[in-house]
């Protein structure tokens, strides 16, 4: 393994104490981390950064230099090359989310058919709701029979050749009509991804607007189909966050966040990646009395499962399992020297984990054939016997406890709340009389809540970790904007202590604070993993629905009319681009931080950043610092309020008896 002494720059790479402490440990041990490798890669190729490098055929790579070399060898211009590269990012991102969704459907079907032990059909109410949506007969039928039909219907969305993805019908009518008019309504997920790859290969689609139109189909197939299927079926199998679990009543989930959750006296197992199928079973196996006893025999006081990246988000929102860190903290977890096993599934796993291992006893274990690592052990997860596989893996981790060397335990972690699924938000807002989004619309109309912002996405080594997420969220809530979060952005807020009800009093504007206190929610809501961005889509559609049920509560007949905005301040993954594209084309103005991959073509960038307003009623945008980003989002929200005629905050809508009766219908 190559080594390089780190410069003492820890404060420039992370804003949280725990990470800085771990970075110091790595620095003294002379261990090379992502920040060192990033520095070695700098300066970055301008052509690549701006989307101007084409290497889709062997006459290239071709680079575009304005005024000197305007065309690739085949004659492709900047707009074509940039658009092709952009839609290929979307195809990559959509396939990651959707292949995850497909894996969930497979396990779901096996569960329904009694072909595996371990998984369950846990949330029957949600099963019935999805079955009704699919118009599947539920009367007098067994839940497994219904689940089998739901699974088959969901699976058909992947390979569908004719007709559209089922879940697009959840979008507001006006949005569906707009998609139809633009010809971007998504068909089967696999078809949209394949067609994107086809159209963007050498010598095919050469009209940037048409190329981007295909990218939109693939992105919408991600948001309103692949990702949505993953969320909905995971909820049915593992429980909808916030719904009654072992506690028997609806409640948010408390959890601890940051490297301090790694405990000196316990066997620490990190679950890292994105698919909860395996980690759900690890969480159960870790509670097995025999295995706990075995851990004690080896000198530990117990077994501690903690998460990294979105596998963490999946587990914490349903079980309160702690999160050790976000994407940029995966290596830092190993640096504590106290991680017996890093269990990885798919996506956002750094290959360097294998390298860092040279210095530590941590065993990295891959569990799916889709994602193997040369340096790691591979324990193939037997999906027909998930619990048995999980027990074997946990046992392996325990065996490694005796191999520990020096440990660097970090004390810092923060308490946070998660589990704000669409259903749970609805329940909390509705209060005592009925689960509903009516109070949200009402509080937006009267101005207590200025608008709603989705702040999501990754960490990126190009900027200090969490340096945009945290000030952005703080500025938004100070301005009475309710913030909904997913992914590593939600983890950033958890680590900063923002996901607590107290944040309302300490940091939110007076209107938002009043609502949060009355309802009993934090002003920053953790809605789950990145596939769970679909919970935000549901929430947006519901905000429109509420206004259609009662004109007095109308805040827009389409998503693009709502006072909302989105952001991925520290994005890095292709998945973020897919998500951004489906949010924008669903009608949400969305700002990304850092560099933007189309800036090499003014034509393409103007199209996405300006002309999209006319096409989709929303655009992409880019901002370099948190204050600029917050300003742009708040301006957007205010413009929408003005268009609705509620800029000053209309009179508070009081619920009279008639309205309550309407709600109960």
Q: Judged by CB under 6 A, does residue 327 bind ligand NFS?
A: yes
Q: What angle do CA 586, 592, 593 make, to 5 degrees?
A: 170
Which residues does 378 contact at the CB level (< 8 Å), separation at least 6?
Answer: 365, 366, 367, 372
According to CB under 6 A, which residues from 335 to 394 bind ligand NFS?
Answer: 348
Count of residues in contact with ligand NFS, rule CB under 6 A: 13
Helix (H) or strand (E) holding 419: none
Taking the C-alpha atoms of residue 146 and residue 150, their distance in angstroms, rounded to an integer, is 6
Look at residues 24, 25, 23, 32 and name the one whose alpha carbon lies nearest to residue 5: 32
Interaction of residue 454 with ligand NFS, rule CB under 6 A: no
Q: Exposure string (b/e) for 98-109, b if CB count within 10 Å is 16 or more?
A: bbbbbbbbebbb
- Residues 574-593, one symbol each (x = binds ligand NFS by CB under 6 A, - = not), give -x------------------
Out of ligand NFS, ligand SF4, none, what residue 643 binds, judged by CB under 5 to 8 A for its kind, is: none
User: What count of other Cβ atoms lies within 10 Å of the Cβ of residue 383?
Assistant: 19
Q: Does residue 60 bind ligand SF4 (CB under 6 A)?
A: yes
DSSP characters over 579-641: HHHHHHHTT--EEE-S--TTTT-HHHHHIIIIIHHHHHS--EEE-SSHHHHHHHHHHHHHHHH
Give me the DSSP letters along 197-221: HHHTSTTS---HHHHHHHHHHHHHH
Among 54, 189, 321, 338, binds ligand SF4 (CB under 6 A): 54
Residue list 205-234, contact with ligand NFS (CB under 6 A): none
Specify the stretch interacting with ligand SF4 by CB under 6 A; choose among 56-64, 190-198, 513-521, 618-626.
56-64
CA distance 568 to 512: 22
Q: Which residues contact 589 (CB under 8 A, 6 or more apart)?
A: 564, 565, 566, 618, 619, 621, 633, 636
Question: 27 or 330: whose CB is closer to ligand NFS?
Answer: 330
CA 3, 4, 6: angle at the middle one, nearest 5?
135
Interface pattern 143-182 for ligand SF4 (x via CB under 6 A): ----------------------------------------
Residue 279 or 573 with smaller CB distance to ligand NFS: 573
CB of 202 to ligand SF4, least distance (A): 4
Asked if 79 is part of the footprint of ligand SF4 (rule: CB under 6 A), the reply reads no
CB of 470 to ligand NFS, least distance (A): 15
458 touching ligand NFS, by CB under 6 A: yes
- Nearest CB to ligand NFS, comparing residues 267 and 488: 488
Piece in contact with ligand SF4 (CB under 6 A), picked from 60-68, 86-94, 240-248, 349-357: 60-68
Token reading at 429: 């807002």
Q: Does residue 530 touch ligand NFS according to CB under 6 A?
A: yes
- Smallest gap from Cβ 68 to ligand SF4, in A, equals 15
Distance, CA of 35 to CA of 39 (rounded, Å): 6
At its nearest, how many Å lie between ligand SF4 and the CB of residue 76? 4
Could you say which of 14, 25, 62, 449 contacts ligand SF4 (CB under 6 A)? Answer: 62
Q: How far is the CB of 86 from ligand SF4 (least distance, A)?
A: 14
Residue 87 binds ligand NFS, judged by CB under 6 A: no
What are the two backbone dihedrals, phi and then psi, of residue 339, each rounded to the nearest 5 degrees? -100, 115
Of 25, 34, 56, 453, the one binding ligand SF4 (CB under 6 A) is 56
Q: What are 564's strand-pairing partners?
A: 452
Of 375, 380, 313, nearest to 345 by C-alpha is: 380
Per partner kind, with CB cut-offs from 5 to 8 A, the member of ligand NFS, ligand SF4, none near residue 56 is: ligand SF4
Instruction: Assign 31 to helix, strand or coil.
Output: coil
Tell me if 57 contacts ligand SF4 by CB under 6 A.
yes
For ligand SF4, which residue of 37, 38, 49, 74 counts as binding (CB under 6 A)? Answer: 74
Residues 275-314, one symbol each (x = binds ligand NFS by CB under 6 A, - = not), give ----------------------------------xx----
Binding mask 189-218 for ligand SF4 (x = CB under 6 A): -------------x----------------
Nearer to ligand NFS, 393 or 490 (CB): 490
With binding defined as CB under 6 A, does residue 639 bind ligand SF4? Answer: no
Site string for ligand NFS, 478-497 (x = CB under 6 A): ---------xx---------
- In eight-state DSSP terms, residue 169 is G
Contacts for 465 with CB less than 8 Å, ≥ 6 apart: 13, 14, 15, 16, 19, 326, 328, 329, 459, 492, 570
For 585-604, letters b (16+ CB in 10 Å) and e give bbbbbbbbbbbbbbbbbebb
Least separation in angstroms between residue 211's CB and ligand SF4 is 13
Q: Which of 59, 505, 639, 643 binds ligand SF4 (CB under 6 A)?
A: 59
Q: What is the DSSP string of 522-567?
A: -SEEE--SSTTHHHHHHHHHHHHHHHHH-GGG-S-SSGGGSSEEEE
CB 362 within 8 A of CB 355: no
In the block, tokens 């696999």 appear at 190
- Shortest gap between Cβ of 557 and ligand NFS (angstroms)? 31
Query: In angstroms, rounded to a whole number, what is the distance separating the alpha carbons of residues 413 and 355?
Result: 27
Of 308 and 504, CB closest to ligand NFS: 308
Tokens representing 370? 């889709």
441 binds, among ligand SF4, ligand NFS, none (CB under 5 to 8 A by kind): none
- What tokens appear for 613 in the block? 């307003």
The contact set with ligand NFS (CB under 6 A) reads 274, 309-310, 326-327, 348, 457-458, 487-488, 530, 573, 575
The contact set with ligand SF4 (CB under 6 A) reads 54-57, 59-62, 72-74, 76, 81, 202
């Amino acid at each position: 393994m190559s080594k390089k002494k780190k410069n003492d720059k820890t404060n420039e790479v992370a804003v949280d104490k725990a990470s800085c402490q771990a970075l110091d440990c790595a620095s003294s041990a002379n261990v090379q981390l992502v920040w060192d490798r990033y520095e070695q890669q700098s300066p970055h190729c301008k052509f690549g950064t701006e989307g101007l490098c084409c290497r889709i055929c062997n006459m290239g790579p071709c680079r575009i230099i304005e005024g000197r070399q305007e065309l690739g060898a085949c004659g492709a211009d900047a707009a074509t090359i940039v658009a092709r590269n952009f839609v290929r990012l979307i195809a990559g991102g959509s396939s990651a989310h959707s292949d995850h969704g497909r894996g969930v459907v497979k396990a779901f079907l096996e569960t329904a058919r009694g072909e595996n032990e371990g998984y369950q059909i846990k949330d029957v109410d949600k099963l019935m709701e999805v079955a009704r949506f699919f118009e599947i007969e539920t009367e007098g039928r067994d839940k497994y029979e219904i689940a089998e039909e739901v699974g088959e219907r969901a699976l058909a969305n992947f390979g569908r050749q004719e007709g559209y993805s089922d879940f697009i019908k959840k979008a507001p009518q006006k949005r569906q009509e707009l998609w139809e008019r633009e010809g971007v309504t998504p068909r089967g997920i696999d078809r949209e991804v394949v067609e994107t790859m086809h159209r963007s290969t050498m010598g095919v689609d050469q009209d940037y607007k048409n190329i981007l139109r295909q990218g939109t189909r693939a992105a919408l197939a991600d948001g309103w189909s692949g990702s949505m299927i993953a969320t909905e079926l995971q909820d049915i199998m593992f429980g909808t966050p916030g719904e009654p679990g072992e506690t028997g009543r609806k409640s948010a989930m408390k959890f601890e966040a940051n490297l301090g959750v790694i405990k000196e006296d316990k066997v620490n197992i990190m679950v890292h990646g994105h698919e909860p199928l395996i980690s759900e079973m690890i969480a159960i196996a870790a509670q097995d009395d025999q295995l706990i006893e075995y851990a004690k025999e080896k000198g530990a006081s117990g077994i501690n499962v903690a998460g990294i990246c979105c596998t963490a988000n999946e587990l914490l929102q349903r079980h309160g399992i702690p999160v050790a860190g976000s994407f940029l903290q995966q290596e830092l977890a190993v640096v504590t020297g106290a991680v017996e096993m890093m269990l990885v599934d798919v996506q956002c796993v750094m290959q360097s984990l294998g390298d860092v291992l040279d210095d530590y006893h941590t065993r990295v274990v891959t569990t799916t054939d889709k994602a193997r690592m040369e340096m790691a052990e591979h324990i193939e997860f037997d999906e027909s016997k998930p619990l048995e596989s999980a027990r074997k893996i946990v046992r392996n981790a325990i065996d490694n406890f005796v191999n520990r060397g020096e440990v660097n335990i970090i004390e810092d972690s923060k308490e946070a709340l998660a589990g704000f699924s669409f259903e749970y938000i609805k329940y909390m807002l509705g209060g005592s009389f009925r689960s509903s989004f009516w109070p949200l619309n009402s509080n937006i109309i009267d101005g207590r809540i200025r608008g709603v912002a989705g702040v999501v996405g990754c960490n990126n080594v190009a900027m200090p970790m969490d340096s945009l997420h945290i000030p952005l969220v703080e500025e938004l809530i100070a301005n009475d904007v309710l913030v909904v979060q997913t992914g590593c952005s939600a983890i950033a807020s958890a680590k900063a202590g923002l996901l607590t009800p107290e944040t309302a009093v300490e940091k939110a504007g007076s209107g938002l604070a009043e609502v949060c206190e009355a309802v009993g929610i934090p002003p920053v809501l953790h809605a789950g993993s990145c596939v769970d961005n679909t919970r935000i889509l549901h929430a947006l559609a519901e905000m429109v629905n509420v206004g259609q049920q009662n004109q007095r509560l109308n805040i827009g007949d389409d998503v693009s009319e709502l006072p909302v905005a989105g952001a991925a301040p520290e994005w890095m993954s292709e998945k973020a681009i897919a998500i951004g594209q489906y949010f924008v084309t669903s009608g949400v103005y969305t700002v990304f931080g850092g560099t933007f991959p189309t800036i090499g073509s003014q034509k393409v960038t103007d199209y996405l950043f300006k002309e999209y307003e006319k096409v989709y009623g929303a655009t992409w945008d880019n901002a370099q610092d948190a204050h600029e980003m917050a300003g742009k989002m708040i301006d957007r929200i205010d413009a929408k309020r003005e268009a609705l005629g509620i800029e000053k905050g209309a009179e508070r809508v009081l619920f009279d008896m008639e309205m309550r009766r309407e709600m109960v219908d």
